[in-house]
């Protein structure tokens, strides 16, 4: 008889939003990153920790609830977005959930992420589901549009119904060490968001060093970011475990400094169930169970959900199915 899957308990979003703080350059000056130690810790993670069988299935179902199901293509259409929203409402096939003893549990993705032009379509398609719409903004993916236009884009996306805004920072501020300019930029973007949560995309593949990643993470949080996010998914290098380790240790330092919990979102290149388990394990070990919940952990992905669903089907049937049985849209 198939064991019943019991996913990790899901907590409500009860922590206070990050109000930000004054830019403290002394904190930035004290930031150090031991690259060799970071890489060693990240590379040995999968060998030291693993989850199997029913436990793995539970972790994968938890991962589903943290996915920002994303479509950011030049050929996006209203029909594609509606189909993606339908998948967000029912991310795992009903027969798989039934076989796993999960037929009475509501499992949805964490959000649906789209361009501004698709916000109203997504909001309508998700009506009544409780799934928020996230919009990429501020001249995504380069973030080099005129500043006033980037602010207006945020305001327009919030007015259209987006509850989360994924902004792109100016990477040049990081590369030149202009932390004041980065702070003022993110602070202005946070103000434009109003009640919508702000996820600050650092573009970690473009800002060269792990120390830059650490400092940019800290500045974004000081400026009021609710989440810090690795990448747009369009860079040559996107989310990696070493970058993740650096960013979440900055989240831990900010928590110790201020008492405020900041979310984390890796994006780009996380396409398999094995990949996402490594990120979940790192979040649990470094920050604790609170950061396994969708209010503090999101994964920017599209194809990942298909592989998770395929692994879950293998769990309940003992057989691997063809990819076409798990379409995203």
Tell me what the mean pLDDT of segment 78-86 comes to.
Answer: 97
pLDDT at position 277, please? 95
Residue-wise pLDDT tens digits, 108-140: 999 999 999 999 999 999 999 999 999 999 999
Kindly report, residue by residue over 269-284, the tens digit of the pLDDT.
899 999 999 999 999 9
For residue 169, the model assigns a pLDDT of: 98
How buried is residue 99: exposed, middle or buried, by Cβ count under 10 Å (0-12/13-18/19+)? Answer: middle
Report the candidate in 104, 105, 70, 63 with the shortest Cα–Cα distance to residue 87: 70
**pLDDT of 320 higher than 90:** no
Segment 210-251, tens digit of pLDDT = 999 999 999 999 999 999 999 999 998 999 999 999 999 999
Distance CA 57, CA 35 (A): 33
pLDDT at 94: 92
Cis peptide before 141, with omega less than 30 degrees from 0?
A: yes
Q: Which residues contact 238 (CB under 8 A, 6 or more apart)?
A: 204, 205, 230, 231, 232, 267, 268, 269
Distance CA 85, CA 180 (A): 39
Q: Could you tell me which of 297, 23, 32, 21 has the C-alpha nearest to residue 173? A: 23
pTM of the entire predicted model:
0.93
The confidence score (pLDDT) of residue 328 equals 61
* String of DSSP letters for 236-274: SS---HHHHHHHHHHHHHHHHHHS---EEE-BSS--SHH
- pLDDT at residue 297 above 90? yes
**Per-residue confidence (pLDDT) for residue 13, from 0 to 100:** 55
In the annotation, is 229 catalytic? yes
pLDDT in the model for residue 321: 75
127 as an active site residue: the answer is no
Edge to edge, the sheet with strand 227-229 lists 263-265, 227-229, 197-201, 164-168, 133-136, 111-114, 67-70, 299-301
Q: Around Cβ 329, how many Cβ atoms within 10 Å?
A: 15
Rounded mean pLDDT, 314-323:
82
Specify the pLDDT at position 32: 97
pLDDT in tens, 190-211: 999 999 999 999 999 999 999 9
Q: What is the pLDDT of residue 95?
A: 92
pLDDT tens for each residue of 6-44: 454 444 456 889 999 999 999 999 999 999 999 999 998
116 dihedral zone (left: phi>0; alpha: psi -120 to 50; beta)? alpha
Which residue among 68, 166, 275, 307 is the active-site one? 166
- Considering the chain, what percentage of its residues have pLDDT values greater than 90? 84
Task: Please provide the average confidence, as pLDDT, over all residues in the chain.
Answer: 92
pLDDT digits (tens, 9 = 90+) for 48-67: 777 888 999 999 999 999 99
Could you confirm whether 9 is annotated as catalytic? no
User: For residue 42, what are the CA distances in angstroms to 45, 125, 188, 245, 278?
Assistant: 5, 39, 34, 7, 9
State whether residue 109 is helix, strand or coil. Answer: coil
Question: For residue 182, how many other CB atoms are within 10 A of its CB?
Answer: 26
pLDDT recorded at residue 9: 47
- Going by C-alpha positions, the residue among 327, 293, 292 that lies closest to residue 310 is 327
What domains sit in the chain, N to C, each tagged with a CATH number?
25-45+52-318 (3.20.20.70)
| Residue 329: pLDDT over 60 | no
Determine how many CB atoms are found less than 10 A away from the CB of residue 77.
Answer: 12
Beta-bridge partners for 267: 300
Cα-only R_g, the chain: 19
Say how many C-beta atoms besides its own lie within 10 A of residue 80's C-beta: 17
Strands (E), 21-125: 67-70, 111-114
Candidates 62, 199, 261, 265; catalytic one: 265
Catalytic residue among 62, 229, 275, 307: 229
Exposure string for 144-175, b = 16+ CB within 10 A, e = fewer: ebeeeebbebbbebbebbbbbbbbbbbbebbe
């Amino acid at each position: 008889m198939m064991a019943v899957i019991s996913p990790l308990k899901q907590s409500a979003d009860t922590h206070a939003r990050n109000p930000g703080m004054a830019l403290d350059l002394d904190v930035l000056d004290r930031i150090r990153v031991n690259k060799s130690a970071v890489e060693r810790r990240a590379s040995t993670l999968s060998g030291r920790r693993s989850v199997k069988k029913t436990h793995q299935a539970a972790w994968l179902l938890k991962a589903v609830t943290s996915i920002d199901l994303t479509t950011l293509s030049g050929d996006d259409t209203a029909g594609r977005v509606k189909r993606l929203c339908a998948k967000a409402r029912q991310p795992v096939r009903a027969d798989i959930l039934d076989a796993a003893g999960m037929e009475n549990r509501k499992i949805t993705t964490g959000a649906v992420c789209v361009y501004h032009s698709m916000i109203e379509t997504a909001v309508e398609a998700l009506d009544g589901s409780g799934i928020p719409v996230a919009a990429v903004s501020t001249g995504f993916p380069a973030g080099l549009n005129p500043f006033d236009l980037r602010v207006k884009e945020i305001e327009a996306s919030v007015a259209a119904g987006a509850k989360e805004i994924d902004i792109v920072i100016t990477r040049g501020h990081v590369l030149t060490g202009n932390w004041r300019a980065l702070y003022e930029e993110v602070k202005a973007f946070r103000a434009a968001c109003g009640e919508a949560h702000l996820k600050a995309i650092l573009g970690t593949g473009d800002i060269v060093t792990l120390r830059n990643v650490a400092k940019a993470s800290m500045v974004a949080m000081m400026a009021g970011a609710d989440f810090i996010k690795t990448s747009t998914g369009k860079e040559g290098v996107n989310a990696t475990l070493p970058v993740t380790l650096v960013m979440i240790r900055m989240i831990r330092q900010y928590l110790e400094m201020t008492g405020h919990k900041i979310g984390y979102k890796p994006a780009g290149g996380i396409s398999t169930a094995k990949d996402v388990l490594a990120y979940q394990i790192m979040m649990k070990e470094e920050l604790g169970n609170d950061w396994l919940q969708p209010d503090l952990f999101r994964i920017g992905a599209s194809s990942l959900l298909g592989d998770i669903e395929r692994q879950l089907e293998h769990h309940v049937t003992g057989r691997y199915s063809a990819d076409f049985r798990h379409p995203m849209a």
